Amino acid sequence: MPVSERLGSHLKRAAQALSAAKQATLKQAGLTVPQYAALLYLSDNPGMSAAALARACAVTPPTMNTVLKNLQEQGLIERTPHEWHRNILETRLTEKGERVLADADPRAVRVERGLAAEFSQEERETLVALLGRCIGFLESARQAEH
Amino acid sequence: MPVSERLGSHLKRAAQALSAAKQATLKQAGLTVPQYAALLYLSDNPGMSAAALARACAVTPPTMNTVLKNLQEQGLIERTPHEWHRNILETRLTEKGERVLADADPRAVRVERGLAAEFSQEERETLVALLGRCIGFLESARQAEH
DNA sequence: ACACCATAGTTAGAGCTCTAATGATCGTCA
DNA sequence: TGACGATCATTAGAGCTCTAACTATGGTGT
């Protein structure tokens, strides 16, 4: 099966180009792409658990653990034990985290807006729908595998 | 800007679901996704340089170096100096590499065929075209950044 | 009450990925 | 001949990512 016929290779290249573009612009704010994603969700949901954050960002808990560790070392987040549910750690942005996110977000949004502007409203909806079907199939295939 | 409106998040999730599905099936053949990609290109172009392979797989040379190192340790490829162009290393599959690829390829193709079967011919072409425009914009944006 | 299960968090280990910097070789051009 | 630039290869270092295995807590079932 020729590579050019494989939807996967187009998908992968597009995702990689996106990641590279975001990485280039976020670097100026001192963040990586996963760090930015985590801060963005935390900003909307202060105090959410690392596990919930991992689900939101579509990564595994150990991966999120790594990202949070780096964010914590930079003083951008703080993690405090939950009042009574002692098994969960509440994660929140620090003031510095808010400032860094406020610097990074416009940069990331600029990339997204630029990308969106390449398409008409109808094309965007088509693309999102097609990608959604890819995700649906691939995730069910993954489950069926085992 | 809401996350659900960002094309990037859909793109990223789709690519990740694809990678996860391939990873699950390729694991049974003892390969990672990048290792499989490298073997696949090498199979079609015996003797190609690591730099050319990196371009084909859309990764940087140091990344390909890491992948090739692991493949070499498993005895799946061999790298020999070019006859007169002494700066380049010709990379080739070993017999074992051929066998492993012959085992892995049908598994990967099964995922690709399953994914392709989710769409009509026209939908596939639409998806590839839209992704191509994403790639085009993002790569030019990346250049303009610097 | 006790076993069970789901969830949260973590650690260990392997592998991929990038940027940045370095060194080696070849071809070209003054 | 000698300098320059292009290409190839590699190393160092930081960070992301996964699977696998483990611990701990809280709720649910009999």
Task: Output phi, psi for B81, to 5 deg.
Answer: -60, 145
pLDDT at B83 over 80: no
What's the confidence (pLDDT) of residue A145? 61
The answer to whether A19 contacts B3, with C-beta atoms less than 8 Å apart, is no
pLDDT at B146 over 60: no
The structural domains of chain A, ordered by start, are: 3-145 (1.10.10.10)
What's the confidence (pLDDT) of residue B145? 62
- What would the mean pLDDT of A69-84 be, rounded to a whole number? 90
Residues 95-134 of A with CB under 8 A from B: 109, 111-116, 118-119, 123-124, 126-128, 130-134
- Spell out a b/e string for B34-54, using b for 16 or more CB atoms within 10 Å of the CB, else e: bbbbbbbbbeeeeebbbebbb
Among candidates B11, B126, B146 on the partner chain, residue whose Cβ is nearest the Cβ of A18: B11
- What would the mean pLDDT of A127-145 be, rounded to a whole number? 86
H helices of chain B, in order, are 7-27, 33-44, 50-57, 61-73, 95-116, 121-145
What's the confidence (pLDDT) of residue B85? 73
Task: Render pLDDT for A26-71 as a digit per residue (tens, 0 to 9).
Answer: 999 999 999 999 999 999 999 999 999 999 999 999 999 999 999 9
Residue of A130, A135, A140 best to disrupt the B interface, most CBs of B under 10 A? A130
